[in-house]
Chains A and B, each alone.
Chain A
Amino acid sequence: MDCPTTASLWIDFLDGKLSVDQAQKLEEHLRSCASCRLSHQELQQTIQGLVHLPEEEPGPELRVEFTAMLEREKAILASQPLVKAKVVRTWPWKKISSVAAVLLLVSIAYWLGKYNTKQSFNAESISPIESSNPAELQTLELLKNDLASTRLVALHRSQDLAKPSTVLLDALIDKLNFDEHLNVRMAAAEALAHFPQESKARTALIQALQEAEDPSLQIELIHLLVYLNEKKAIPVMKNLLVNKTLPDYVIEQVKIGLPQII
């Protein structure tokens, strides 16, 4: 055989990834070719050297800090059901109104379905705005609540849903863009980022970054888009870099985030 032109074949050989037949041919070749023997030997030493680089133990404080952090997070989580319980207690009519909302939405969905069926017999073409998931309907209802804390609970709950309907996505996007409370807008951004498979959610996050004026929201959106590895956010982030009105610390986050989208 001729000398392999790239290191790739030798690396596969060293990794044991070649067929017996291919490996035998290379071994035979090695016996007769000094130059390939050198390549093979050097690659072998490089790869083995890497594997044998010494490992180190971190200091004991790493575990201590980890345990403290875990306890903090557990305490935060434990405080959340209390918020939910309070909501139910403070608004005893909530369940009733939720049931009413379910009935209303189901009847609207039924009506829309019936209307669409007249136009087409294809069940798939029935409007996607219907939502049959009770948990989702309740979340939608809570999102309309006047109390910001209730809307925050709803946003938190929405993250438990495996697949959001278009109605819910629209409601989350509405909260992201128009809620009067910054905390709710930021929580809506985080809720949308929980549905990375929904292109509508991703697009909304990019658009919000384009339009957001509050630095905290801008930073939250930058973090989320970087976390989602959203390539379509790159042009928007590049624009932010040349925006003279942005605070330095927002620009700094863009500079840190941009190279991470790969």
Chain B
Amino acid sequence: MSKRSDLLTDEELMLSVSRGNLDNMRFLFDRYHLRVYNYLLKMTRDRAGSQDLCQEVFYKALKYRESYRGSLFAPWLFKIAQNAYFNYYQAQKSKRQGLDVLQRFPATENPGREQNEAIEQLYWAIEQLNEKDKSLLLLNRLQGIQYQDLAEMVGSNTGAIKTKIHRIIAKLRVHFFKHN
């Protein structure tokens, strides 16, 4: 008897989706939509935009399902998410809107308290990074994508990616603590 779908690994589910069992995408949506949405939200700081992009990511995962060859699912999905974000970013830029004129949500519901100020300051520090660095940092530190898988995602090697992420964290620390 075959395994119940909800017990399958991400990779087994996606392989079955790629073979035409599209219903299994529901389980992957359940497991990943929060992560993808929150990655996009931190990249864009725009709730409605992140929701649209998140929808687009799962649509593309379905559309390109036959190109999935059984690699680790999370890096594969986040590569789609990253590309969707870069597309969005370029489109916003070319509309001459510039991301800084978009309505950004406040980092916390209740600003003013010390902890919330720290969060605001960390968001500010993240905003100082360029888009590619920001994405690498969030994928590694928030989404737990390992150096090795990031290296594969961006066509680099593990050592170089590790050094890069360490540099990004060092840069972030400077912004986080020294901007005043």
Question: In terms of DSSP, what is the predominant structure of the interface of chain A?
Answer: helix
The 8 A CB mask of B15-42 against A (1 = contact, 0 = none) is: 0000010110110010001100110011
The residues of A that contact B170 with a CB separation of less than 8 Å are 6-7, 11, 43
Q: Does A16 contact B (CB under 8 A)?
A: no
Chain B residues numbered 66-101 whose CB sits less than 8 Å from any CB in chain A: 66-67, 83, 86-87, 90-91, 94
Pairwise interchain contact B42-A70, C-beta atoms closer than 8 A: no
Q: How far is the CA of A61 from the CA of B34 in the complex (A)?
A: 13
Partner of B20, one of A43, A58, A77: A77
The residues of B that contact A45 with a CB separation of less than 8 Å are 176
Q: Does A256 contact B (CB under 8 A)?
A: yes
Closest to B141 in A: A50
Pairwise interchain contact A226-B58, C-beta atoms closer than 8 A: no
- How many Cβ-Cβ contacts under 8 Å join chain A to chain B? 120
Q: Does B104 contact A (CB under 8 A)?
A: no
* Distance of A226 from chain B, by nearest CB (Å): 7
Closest to A196 in B: B67
Partner of B62, one of A46, A58, A73, A260: A73
The residues of A that contact B137 with a CB separation of less than 8 Å are 50
Q: Does B50 contact A (CB under 8 A)?
A: yes
Interface residue tally on B, bucketed by range: 35 or more
Pairwise interchain contact B166-A226, C-beta atoms closer than 8 A: no
Q: Does A47 contact B (CB under 8 A)?
A: yes
Given contacts A6-B166, A73-B22, contact A61 B51 (CB under 8 A): yes
Q: How far is the CA of A109 from the CA of B169 in the complex (A)?
A: 59
* Distance of A14 from chain B, by nearest CB (Å): 9
Q: How far is the CA of A7 from the CA of B142 in the complex (A)?
A: 20
Q: How far is the CA of A70 from the CA of B108 in the complex (A)?
A: 34
Most chain B CB atoms below 10 A, which of A53, A74, A226: A53
Q: Does A66 contact B (CB under 8 A)?
A: yes
* Distance of A255 from chain B, by nearest CB (Å): 6
Closest to A261 in B: B155
Pairwise interchain contact B169-A43, C-beta atoms closer than 8 A: yes
* Distance of B50 from chain A, by nearest CB (Å): 7
Pairwise interchain contact A255-B38, C-beta atoms closer than 8 A: no
Pairwise interchain contact A51-B142, C-beta atoms closer than 8 A: yes
Pairwise interchain contact A50-B41, C-beta atoms closer than 8 A: no
Pairwise interchain contact A54-B119, C-beta atoms closer than 8 A: yes
Q: Does B118 contact A (CB under 8 A)?
A: yes
Given contacts A62-B54, A70-B62, contact A226 B83 (CB under 8 A): yes
Q: How far is the CA of A54 from the CA of B142 in the complex (A)?
A: 11
The residues of B that contact A74 with a CB separation of less than 8 Å are 22-23
The residues of A that contact B67 with a CB separation of less than 8 Å are 193-194, 196, 227
Given contacts A59-B51, A66-B33, A74-B22, contact A54 B108 (CB under 8 A): yes
Q: Does A2 contact B (CB under 8 A)?
A: no
* Distance of B76 from chain A, by nearest CB (Å): 12
Partner of A62, one of B51, B66, B119: B51
Q: How far is the CA of A55 from the CA of B22 in the complex (A)?
A: 28
Closest to A226 in B: B83
The residues of B that contact A50 with a CB separation of less than 8 Å are 122, 137, 141-142, 172
Pairwise interchain contact A58-B50, C-beta atoms closer than 8 A: yes
Pairwise interchain contact A262-B155, C-beta atoms closer than 8 A: yes
The 4 closest A-B pairs by CB, nearest first: A7-B170, A8-B166, A46-B173, A256-B90
- A-contacting residues of B (Cβ < 8 Å)? 20, 22-23, 25-26, 29, 33-34, 37-38, 41-42, 47, 50-51, 54-55, 58-59, 62-64, 66-67, 83, 86-87, 90-91, 94, 107-108, 118-119, 122-123, 125, 132, 137, 141-142, 154-155, 163, 166-167, 169-170, 172-173, 176-177
